[in-house]
Amino acid sequence: MPRRLPHIRVRSQTLVAIRWVGVTGQGVTLLIVYYGLGFTFPIVPAIAAVMASAALNMFVLIRHWARPHIGDRDAALYLGFDIIQLGALLYLTGGLLNPFLILILAPIVVSATVLSSTSTIILSLLAMATVTLLAFRHLPMPAPRPIAPPDAVYVFALWTAMILAIGFTAGYVYRVAREQRRMQDALAEAQAALAREHQVSAVGAIAAAAAHELGTPLATISVITKELVRDLPPDSELGEDAALLLSQAERCRDILAELSARPKGDTGESFYKGPLSTLVEAVAESRGRNDIPVRIAREPDTDNGSLEPRVFRRPEIVHGVGNFISNARQFARTEVVVTIAWDPKTCRLTVHDDGPGFPPSILSRLGEPYVSSRRESGEHMGLGVFIAQTLLERTGARVEFDNRAEGGAEVVVTWPRHRLEQEDQL
């Protein structure tokens, strides 16, 4: 199913605080201009407009006292009122000639930052309509002496500039804010994936500890049960029960042995430090389609004779490499090859398949959130590669994507060897 966008909510305190700043600024400015500078304009209607904004603020405080958040619709209505209220003040004080006309962009910026695209478009159209009305109808600009009517070309230029400013500001701010929200969501998904891998490691550690602690008492039970079976007469009524107890003790011992050993999949490789290829083999066994084999190839640096890097199971490596192997299996035709090469300074892990390769349209953007060639299915939102790259980069890796000349996709993960082998990342 396609992922639904979360319901947009805004903190009421945020809108209230912004409006209080506007109310204070408008009131002080009106009083200074009228009483301090002696400019003449309809002061009573202007103060009434400011008081209406203050009354709305009190209404918002009372209505949303118990609910700290405001829905998208209500927030859009409040911001729409701010545009109309500012338009009324501008009508009383000169229209487009009033230098405070630029403040009509403030509600647009707030909407583009936190509200939906629909609300932002509606508020932008309302602001444009307000600017258009002010271009034709407004009272004279307050001044110490009468001002000649401005040239029509100048008014048209002001109107054009404001319309363009509203459209550009709304579009640009909304796009930047949306990308920021998407990035935050993607990073949250990466943290959740890392937490899941840590939980897998924790469960495996508990199982290994339990197997170790239960081994000694179970061995004692087995020894005593064997002695009972040996000492009881063949026709004893307790002989069958003792034999059953012994068989169950042996079964428990086998189960504990399996828990203590390194099983297939993700839970086993977490309790030892071993070759990187062994970790990759364990991850490959648990990820993706089983009908597509994964071949592990090793390319050591024979000139320097360096040994293969030995690493602990790290959730970042398990999830990141596992994601790339799983993706390669989904697109491969016959097999996936994982090549591990190393020298004294670096280690390089390459995952490639013989499938169609990465689409050229997204190759340069791979690693960004919500980039995928399968988004039309509604199930793949393009977060897997982003999460894998983000987690691997936490271990010091550099991830590169490319298409092979002979066909198929290729992912190259390169670590500085000292970062890969250090133990304090656990």
| Model pLDDT, residue 161 | 93
100-134 burial, b for 16+ CB within 10 Å, e for fewer?
ebebbbbbbbbbbbbbbeebbebbbebbbebbeeb
Residue 176 lies in a domain: no
Please check whether residues 251 and 303 belong to one and the same domain: no
What percentage of the chain has pLDDT greater than the value 90?
Answer: 23
| Model pLDDT, residue 140 | 86
Which whole-number Å values give the CA distances from 373 to 1, 159, 189, 386, in the listed order? Answer: 16, 43, 19, 14
Query: Which of 260, 293, 309 corresponds to the end of one domain?
Result: 260
Please check whether residues 228 and 359 belong to one and the same domain: no
Residue 426 lies in a domain: no
Mean pLDDT within 247-272: 58
Query: Which of 260, 294, 315 corresponds to the end of one domain?
Result: 260
Query: Phi and psi dihedrals of 146, rounded to 5?
Result: -55, 140
Residue 187 lies in a domain: no
Query: Phi and psi dihedrals of 39, rounded to 5?
Result: -80, 145
Please check whether residues 320 and 246 belong to one and the same domain: no
Q: Looking at residue 100, what DSSP letter applies?
A: G
Residue 172 lies in a domain: no
- Structure confidence at residue 210 as a pLDDT band (50, 70, 90): low
> Strand locations in 139-293, DSSP E?
273-275
Residue 221 lies in a domain: yes
Whether 315 shows a pLDDT value over 60: the answer reads yes
Please check whether residues 415 and 279 belong to one and the same domain: yes
Lowest mean pLDDT among 73-77, 107-111, 223-227, 340-344: 223-227
Residue 179 lies in a domain: no
Number of domains the chain contains = 3
> What is the pTM for the complete model shown?
0.55
| Residue 256: half-sphere exposure toward Cβ, Cα within 13 Å | 17
Residue 25 lies in a domain: yes
Q: Match 């009083």 to its residue by tokens.
A: 31
Please check whether residues 238 and 333 belong to one and the same domain: no
Please check whether residues 378 and 253 belong to one and the same domain: no
Give the number of other Cβ atoms within 10 Å of residue 135's Cβ: 18
The pLDDT tens digits for 285-297 are 877 666 788 889 9
Q: How far apart are CA 195 and CA 73, in angstroms?
A: 35
Please check whether residues 343 and 404 belong to one and the same domain: yes
Query: Which of 129, 150, 171 corresponds to the end of one domain?
Result: 150
Please check whether residues 53 and 31 belong to one and the same domain: yes
Please check whether residues 351 and 411 belong to one and the same domain: yes
Please check whether residues 81 and 143 belong to one and the same domain: yes
The pLDDT tens digits for 49-94 are 999 999 988 888 887 776 777 888 888 898 999 999 999 999 999 8
Q: What is the CATH number of the domain that holds 285?
A: 3.30.565.10
N-to-C CA span, the chain: 36
The pLDDT tens digits for 322-361 are 889 988 888 888 889 999 999 888 999 999 998 888 888 8
Which whole-number Å values give the CA distances from 262 to 14, 209, 269, 283, in the listed order? Answer: 54, 13, 6, 12
Please check whether residues 222 and 250 belong to one and the same domain: yes
CA angle 162, 163, 168 (to 5 degrees): 95
- 56 vs 268, residue with greater confidence: 56
Q: How far apart are CA 93 and CA 100, in angstroms?
A: 10
| Model pLDDT, residue 265 | 43
The pLDDT tens digits for 355-411 are 888 888 888 778 777 666 554 433 344 677 888 888 888 888 899 999 988 888 999
Q: How far apart are CA 54 and CA 77, in angstroms?
A: 15
| Model pLDDT, residue 419 | 85
Q: How far apart are CA 310 and CA 347, in angstroms?
A: 11
Start-end of H helices in 9-104: 12-31, 43-63, 72-92
Lowest mean pLDDT among 6-10, 43-47, 334-338: 6-10
- Could you list the residue range(s) of the whole structural domain that residue 405 is in? 269-421
Please check whether residues 276 and 364 belong to one and the same domain: yes
Residue 183 lies in a domain: no
The pLDDT tens digits for 151-181 are 888 889 999 999 999 999 999 998 888 777 7
